[in-house]
Chains A and B, each alone.
Chain A
Amino acid sequence: MPDATDILNALVLMTNFVFVPALAYGSQLALGALGVTLVYGILRFANFAHGDMMAFGTTLTILFTWALQAAGISLGIFPTALLALVPAIIIMAIFVIGIDKVVFAYYRKQRAAPVVLVIASVGVMFMLSAVVRFVMGTEDRRFTDGDRFLVRALDFKKWSGLDEGLAIQTTQAITVVVSLVVVAALFYFLDRTRTGKAMRAYSDNEDLALLSGINPDRIVMVTWILAAALATIAGALYGLDKSFKPFTYFQLLLPIFAAAIVGGIGQPIGAVVGGYVVAFSEVMLTYAYKKFATYLLPETMAPKGLLQFLGTDYKFAISFIILVLVLLIRPTGIFRGKVL
């Protein structure tokens, strides 16, 4: 039987390498999926440009961060990027509404098939990703400053007397807190405010909503503002946590879509839950449990292999496999979203 320290060590190990990273990644996915789900619920098309919108919002955030740093403004132990988010979101919202006016509004007026809007979003995706590369180049960029760690592994070891250290990066903590605030604010907006209620009504039944005097142009505009804000925050948090590289944002598209669909597309709560489902599955299925098992099992039963279900390179495969499984068992997602 393993003794109490071993069990504690094993738990700390899991917290450090599975729970904390998955929670942070899940929060980023949830924010991304919320944007996709809102656009899908109101504008009724799958926006392929969302990943590159995140990249663009992050680019703006980085530029404002640099400007603030140059002006000597900082947030002390927090990354300056948090402050830069505010102007970035405003510019991003204006920019995204501009895209809608130039590209998507025409097809809405034409009552074109949703697929035409999807293809148009592919065009927007191409152009946005080019613009991001024009501005930022293609290499990795780190733009986080302030304190790197909230809890340091060494300090934790000293404090607890355990063999395993627990490290929590500031960016991970910020990700979780910011996501909580944003999600709470969004749900308050959708549930309690007039505009939020109008948006939900429009999403549920467009004709009925129009009959009751809801202004569709306003709904569309608010949707894009929310999508822009969510994309910027999600992108900036992801960039703070990992690093900023334009192409990875395109690759995030798949787990984000998976999260939105798993939760039930068009359902904000589904997007949040889906984000965590995808993130935890990805991290848990690609983690090597060898050390974890070594703590809990007697020495004679120590595992030989890595005890890894799947190689880390199959991360994207996991989000997709979850997607298929959920759709086979429950075709409208966990929270009964719209039928695709």
Chain B
Amino acid sequence: MTTIETDTTGADAATTPAPTAIVQKKQSPWRAPAAFLVMGLLLAIVGAAQSWSVALGILNMSLISALMAMGLNLQWGYAGLFNAGVMAFTALGGLAAVVVSHPPVWEALAAGGRSMALSGVILVATIATIAFAVSTLKGRMRKFAVVAIVVVGYVLLRPVFADAVSSIETVDPARTGFIGGLGLPIVVAWPVGGLFAAAVAWLIGKVALGLRSDYLAIATLGISEIVIAVLKNEDWLARGVKNVTGLPRPVPYEIELQQTPWFIDLVTRFNAGALEAAADAAEREAILRQLVIENAGNFVKLAYAGLFTVVLLIILALCVRALNSPWGRMMRAIRDNDEAAAAMGKDIKARHLQVFVLGSAIIGIAGAMMTTLDGQFTPGTYNPLRFTFLIWVMVIVGGSGNNLGAVLGGFLIWFIWVEAEPAGSWIVQMLSANMDPQSELYRHLQDIAAPFRLFVMGLVLLIVLRFSPRGLLPEKVRHS
């Protein structure tokens, strides 16, 4: 193993994520803590200057983004797999949140549940027959058999499935029109989201892994579009573009919190000074009311942040351990020189499939967490620029191959993504300060603020790729 381990810098250029790094400079051990300190300061500045509610909002999405970046880093940084389908796994996690936590719609299940189950049986039977045919037949016979089974399966499935779909979707379509879920606590959906994503990743991996990385990228990009198309159109499953709203929460609701004695007590204790300064009891009451309303929102966000941090720390610990274990060494050996690794008896295909499934599972968990945070599942909002390529920017900028780098990338890039829009508006305001508000150019300038963030993202990616191709926190290569 030692020969491969020490060979990482001079690795095969075709598979190394950061082949432009030639000389390995010694890294300061303070680099990561310093970077995170700066990140914390940035959030604190937003908290003080804009509002703590905004800062906490950024923090929550940063935690989720960091998790997604870690999942992608597992695939790209550890194994050099170009997954351009991050969006699909995020959305599958979101689907899990609906399927697990939404209460079941009994009327719809009574109307179409049986034929839906039957179509499920037909589907499984078709797949099983195909698997049987593939394993027993050979050559031309096999191709014919597979095509014949697919055709027969489709002909059998189509009417049963159409019947199931129409009977489910006609049940109160304005409110439900879908089968609902299991009605379990939504936190259960997080691991289930991971499982959903893992299952689909396994299927994708079986088809697309083993191709060169450009092709894998295009294939996964395509599959992610298919997954979103299915989620948008299969209304019986999760209402499609009609969205599922009002998903249950793992944290208290603001309204309830505002009535809860212990929370009011807590706010009173923290703001004793401001309350004492009040002139009379009525004013005191009014100030307290205001403070309780303000702080309830922040408390909810903090509760989410706590939950997300726990998940992030657990997965971070697992990833760091995995990277520093013999398994991690093997993955990097495969990434840097798959032929040498294969010669040493490593099963490249199986390892790639494994790491692809694991990384996708993490993204699925993050997807479920995001839908939990939103409280709704909206398939129409999944867009590859935001949910695939932005995550890529996070990994590249943070430092591929380094878990802390991925986390930092998630935080920093999400921060820039959110803050670029106000920054864009500010620039526009500066530019158009002396303009006539009725003029064409003025009105046009107002529309520029929104795409400004895309521009900044592209610029950040290109600059980092050019001048620090290994990211802000580069992968540590140990020579032993």
By a beta-carbon cutoff of 8 Å, the part of chain A in contact with chain B is 45-46, 48, 103, 106-107, 110-116, 118-120, 122-131, 133-134, 137-138, 250, 253-254, 257-258, 261, 305, 311, 313-314, 316-317, 319-320, 323-324, 327, 339-340
Contacts and interface: CB of A to CB of B under 8 A. Distances in A.
Contact of B214 (A118, A128, A323, A327): A118
Contact of A123 (B215, B444, B451, B458): B458
Interface of B: 13-20, 80, 82, 162, 207, 211-215, 217-219, 221-223, 225-226, 229, 232-233, 384-385, 389, 392-393, 396, 444, 447-448, 450-455, 457-459, 461-462, 465-466, 469
Contacts of B461: 119, 122-123, 126
Given A314-B229, A320-B222, A46 B214 contact: yes
A165 B217 CA distance: 44
Given A46-B214, A122-B392, A250-B384, 9 more contacts: A116-B20, A118-B213, A126-B385, A130-B452, A133-B454, A134-B448, A250-B385, A254-B221, A320-B222
Contacts, number: 140
Nearest to A120: B465
Contacts of A103: 462, 466
B451 to A, nearest CB: 4
A257 B214 CA distance: 11
User: Secondary structure of the A side of the interface?
Assistant: helix
Nearest to B444: A137
B454 A115 contact: no
Contact of B226 (A45, A112, A118, A317): A317
A128 B165 CA distance: 42
A89 to B, nearest CB: 24
B240 to A, nearest CB: 9
Contacts of A119: 392, 396, 461, 465
A112 B20 contact: yes
Nearest to B226: A317
A323 B212 CA distance: 15
Most A CB within 10 A of own CB, among B16, B20, B207, B444:
B20
Contacts of B453: 130
Given A137-B447, A261-B218, A116 B458 contact: no
A132 to B, nearest CB: 8
A126 B13 contact: no
A327 B233 CA distance: 27
B296 to A, nearest CB: 36
Contacts of A305: 162
A261 B215 contact: yes
Given A126-B385, A130-B451, A340 B458 contact: no
Contacts of A123: 393, 458-459, 461-462, 465
A111 B13 contact: yes
Contact of B82 (A115, A127, A316): A115
Given A119-B392, A324-B207, A126 B233 contact: no
Top 9 nearest A-B pairs (CB, nearest first) are A126-B458, A127-B458, A320-B222, A130-B455, A133-B451, A340-B215, A130-B454, A123-B461, A123-B462
A253 B223 CA distance: 13
A323 B450 contact: no
A124 B82 contact: no
A134 B20 CA distance: 33
Contact of B219 (A130, A131, A323): A323
B173 to A, nearest CB: 17
Given A126-B458, A130-B452, A319 B389 contact: no
A340 to B, nearest CB: 4
B214 A113 contact: no
A258 B222 contact: yes
Given A46-B218, A119-B465, A261-B215, A316 B455 contact: no
A257 B218 contact: yes
A257 B225 CA distance: 14
Contacts of B396: 119
A129 B82 contact: no
Contact of A113 (B14, B385, B454, B466): B14
B226 A126 contact: no
B332 to A, nearest CB: 16
Nearest to B154: A309
Contacts of B459: 123, 127
B450 to A, nearest CB: 7
A102 to B, nearest CB: 8
A279 to B, nearest CB: 16
A258 B222 CA distance: 9
Contacts of A317: 225-226, 229
Contacts of B452: 130
B14 to A, nearest CB: 6
B82 A126 contact: no
Contact of A118 (B82, B162, B384): B82
Contacts of A114: 14, 213-214
A111 B19 CA distance: 9
A123 B390 CA distance: 10
Nearest to A107: B20
A166 B91 CA distance: 42
Contacts of B465: 116, 119-120, 123
A10 B78 CA distance: 57
Contact of B15 (A107, A113, A127, A314): A113
A134 B226 CA distance: 30
10 contacts: A115-B80, A116-B20, A123-B461, A126-B455, A127-B462, A134-B455, A258-B218, A258-B222, A323-B218, A327-B211
